[in-house]
Structure formats: C-alpha cells, structure tokens
Amino acid sequence: MTSEKGRTAVFLDRDGTINVEKEYLHRAEEFEFVPGASEAIRLLKEAGFLVVVVTNQSGVARGYYDEAAVHRLHRFVDQELATVGASVDAYYLCPHHPHHGIGPYRTECACRKPLPGMLLSAAADLGIDLSRSWIVGDKAADVEAGLAAGCRTILVRTGYGAAEEHLVPPDVTVCDDIFAAARAIITHLRS
C-alpha cells in the first residue's frame, strides 16, 4: 500500500516467528518453517504490505557464525518462499551484543531489539509509514521495539511467545502463530 504518508510494512521477527526456534540457527539444513509461515508471508504480500524481517543475531557477536552465514541462510529462505509465490522485501539484522560480543560486535548499539533501530532504518530506506505498520514477534522485545517505533504489535505464541505472553502490555494482540497474525492484520485492514 502506498499513500502520501508512505508504504505500510509488516516487520517480522525471524527465529520463533517465521522458523522454529533453534538456538543460534545458521545452517539451511536446520531451518524449519513454522507451519503456515510461508503462506502467511504470501498473504501479507498479496494484501500490499512490504514484508521486512528484523532479526537479532547475537550469534554473530559471540563468534558462533559470521554475517555471511546469516545472508546465505536468508538467500535459502528466499528460495523456499519463492516456491509458494512469497517473498521478503528486506532483511535487517543486528549482529551486536552489549556484553557477549567479540571486538567491534560488543557494543550498545541502537539496532538490537527491544530498541527500534532496525525498524527506523527500514522506514528511512523504504519509505515506510510506521504508524500504519505492524510488527509480529515471539518475544516481548519484539513488541517493545514495535511500540517504540510507533507500530501496531502482535505477539505470537510460537517460539518463546507462550512463555513471554505475561510480559507484554494487556492491550497487545496475541495470536497462536504467524498465519493467525497475518489473518488478523488483513482483517484489521478491511474493517
């Protein structure tokens, strides 16, 4: 969607939201979509949203894998999504950690969720109207990043979501998974 205010986006957390949470996932062989995730992304694209993945990857900071490995994994995800006619418009990653990072990766950055830096960068890069955009994630940090950026927020119960549900403000929408979240967003659009 486009208006004088900019395009609308759905920001998606990656681990635990799009794919099954596996600690420090970076290999394509270990990547497993949450059921319905690729269909959810296709529905959001068909509804006119930009789909932007925003992912904290402290595994880079910790030296478990490098940024190139994250990019390779995302190209694999792109290929998988293409088989169902879905796509992601952009990926933003935070490779930092304030305490456990090695060398330049140990920093109090502005991009690690719950800070909204990745969303703000995407908004500037892609002309996104944050006030009409959404974030979907499985952690309170995703919700907090969305709220800080002025977005609408949905917590999903996959990944860490069921355990984090009590941490989010009571007016935050909670959905069972990313597919239910996509349906809720599209229903909201039409109401």
* Residue 22 burial (CB count, 10 A): 14
138 contributes a contact to Mg ion by CB under 5 A: yes
How far is CA 1 from its chain centroid?
19
Candidates 10, 111, 130, 145: give the one binding Zn ion (CB under 5 A).
111
Q: How does DSSP assign 49-67, residue by residue? A: -EEEEEEE-HHHHTTSS-H
96 binds, among Mg ion, Zn ion, none (CB under 5 to 8 A by kind): Zn ion
Q: Contact letters (x/-) for Zn ion, 86-105, by CB under 5 A?
A: --------x-x---------
138 binds, among Zn ion, Mg ion, none (CB under 5 to 8 A by kind): Mg ion
Candidates 13, 129, 164, 177: give the one binding Mg ion (CB under 5 A).
13
How far apart CA 113 and CA 98 sit, in angstroms, is 12
How far apart CA 154 and CA 37 sit, in angstroms, is 15
15 contributes a contact to Mg ion by CB under 5 A: yes
15 binds, among Zn ion, Mg ion, none (CB under 5 to 8 A by kind): Mg ion
Q: Which stretch binds Mg ion (CB under 5 A): 92-100, 125-133, 135-143, 150-158?
A: 135-143
Q: What is the torsion angle, in degrees rounded to the nearest 10, for the CA atoms of residue 62, residue 63, residue 65 and residue 69?
A: 100
How far apart CA 164 and CA 158 sit, in angstroms, is 10
109 binds, among Mg ion, Zn ion, none (CB under 5 to 8 A by kind): Zn ion
Tokens, residue 169 = 């403000």
Contacting positions for Mg ion (CB under 5 A): 13, 15-16, 138
Contacting positions for Zn ion (CB under 5 A): 94, 96, 109, 111-112
